[in-house]
Amino acid sequence: MAQDINLLILPGDGIGTEVMAQVRRVTDWIGTNQGITFNIEEDLVGGCSIDAHGTSLTDECMAKAMAADAVLLGAVGGPKWDKVDFDIRPEAGLLRLRKDMGLFANLRPAICFDALVDASSLKPDLISGLDIMIVRELTGGVYFGEPRGITDLPDGQRRGVNTQVYDTEEIRRVVRVAFDLALQRDGRVTSCDKANVMESGILWREEATWVHENEAQYADIELSHMYADNAAMQLVRQPKQFDVIVTDNLFGDILSDTAAMLTGSLGMLPSASLGAPDESGVAKAMYEPVHGSAPDIAGQNLANPIASILSFAMALRYSFNLGAEADLIEKSVENVLAEGYRTGDIMQPGMNQTTTTGMGDAIIVALDKLAG
């Protein structure tokens, strides 16, 4: 069935532009070969938008994001903008997109491809077959809590304040997302908090338990609780003990970077950020790699485009119900890795080191082969 999809692509800064150029090749391929029309618009976010417009996200760009069927984002930030005002820093544009689109559930799957078992810093048997889903709360907690700021104290010192704050429903809705995902997987959810130190952590634990005990559809879920520091340790000690992890914005930021490295490289990890479905069942969504703008390798055709390409696959799966097309992309990535293609971040002895565009070429060839 022919389908029309409106995408907003925001390449952003640093390697964002290079990796998103490879995503464009994959959207073109899926469009041409699977009978889908992608209406694609591009705009600026982050430092490049500061340079062009004096703000990391214009209202026009925000409006386009609200109107799009999905947003694909590259990465934001870089040393060039280290000194700009905190309120307009590159990251502020990304945070506004998340907040104003209501993208409270951030899905970060950490899957270790067989071909990359030796690229991880962990022993192969610890990570072979690894398949974890981290669900990070994305629009609340200390990232957005008030009061916040830096104030001058009477004695000449300064004080920096941020507030960790969560309300009942903010916790329950993201826990439900984790439970729904777990129902499609192994049925186990580990909720991570610091209930031993923080009242917001006690509430987190109580509300996660409440959903589990009161919503009948989750009766078969196995819910356990873990302190977030212990979870960080367990992720490198015995990562395969986890199925789905659900946690707050800050702990999720940290735990997902750890989980990413288990898969061999930050350059491999995609993510989906989803809002609540509206009356017609459609949810706002943004898809982005977990990695940042990597200014040290930007502009050199060295970056790994796989995390961004897999993020597009997540868009097909979660926003457009195009699971078969998503499978095709994921399978093509698996195949190029099995054939030995590696960008620098996942390079191993005996493999075939390639560039950003070279990896894009290989993935297109693999897609062609799969389509037969």
Active-site residue list: 143, 194, 229, 253, 257
User: Residue 91 or 215: which CB sits closer to ligand IPM?
Assistant: 91
Interface with ligand IPM includes 94 (CB under 6 A)? yes
Among 137, 170, 193, 253, binds ligand IPM (CB under 6 A): 253
* Residue 50, helix vs strand vs coil: helix
Angle between helices 59-67 and 90-100 (to 10 degrees): 40
CA distances from 173 to 179, 204, 224, 288 (A): 10, 11, 17, 22
Q: How far is the CB of 58 from ligand IPM (least distance, A)?
A: 19
DSSP string, 75-111: E---GGGTTS-GGGSHHHHHHHHHHHTT--EEEEEEE
**Residue 215 interacts with ligand IPM (CB under 6 A)?**
no
The sign of the torsion formed by the CA atoms of 65, 70, 74, 75 equals positive
Count of residues engaged in binding ligand IPM, rule: CB under 6 A: 6
- Residues in 236-255 that interact with Mg ion by CB under 5 A: 253
Give how far Cα 210 sits from Cα of 18, 172, 179, 207, 345, Å.
Answer: 45, 8, 12, 5, 42
Return the residue matching tokens 């389908």: 3
The residue among 137 and 253 lying less far from Mg ion, judged by its C-beta, is 253
| Nearest residue (beta carbon) to ligand IPM | 91
Q: How far is the CB of 240 from ligand IPM (least distance, A)?
A: 23
Three-state secondary structure call for residue 45: coil
In the bound state with ligand IPM, the residue whose beta carbon lies nearer, of 19 and 36, is: 19
Strand 270-274 with 36-42, pairing? unpaired
What minimum distance in Å lies between the beta carbon of 211 and ligand IPM? 24
* CB nearer ligand IPM, residue 267 or residue 360: 267
CB of 257 to Mg ion, least distance (A): 6
Task: Walk across the sheet containing 3-12 and list its strands.
Answer: 36-42, 3-12, 70-75, 285-289, 270-274, 105-111, 131-137, 244-247, 188-193, 222-227
Q: How far is the CB of 223 from Mg ion (least distance, A)?
A: 25
In whole angstroms, give the CA distance from residue 342 to residue 290.
19
91 part of the interface to ligand IPM, by CB under 6 A: yes
- Choose among Mg ion, ligand IPM, none what residue 91 binds, the Cβ cut-off being 5 to 8 Å by kind: ligand IPM
Nearest residue (CB) to Mg ion, 30 versus 75: 75
- Residue 189: count other Cβ atoms within 10 Å of its Cβ: 28
Please report, as residue ranges, which positions from 253 to 282 form the binding site for Mg ion (by CB under 5 A): 253
Point out the residue whose Cβ comes nearest to Mg ion. Answer: 253
Ramachandran sector of residue 62 (left: φ over 0; alpha: ψ -120 to 50; beta: rest) = alpha
**x/- track of binding to ligand IPM for residues 275-304 (CB under 6 A):** ---------------x-x------------
Residues binding Mg ion (CB under 5 A): 253
Residues binding ligand IPM (CB under 6 A): 77, 91, 94, 253, 290, 292
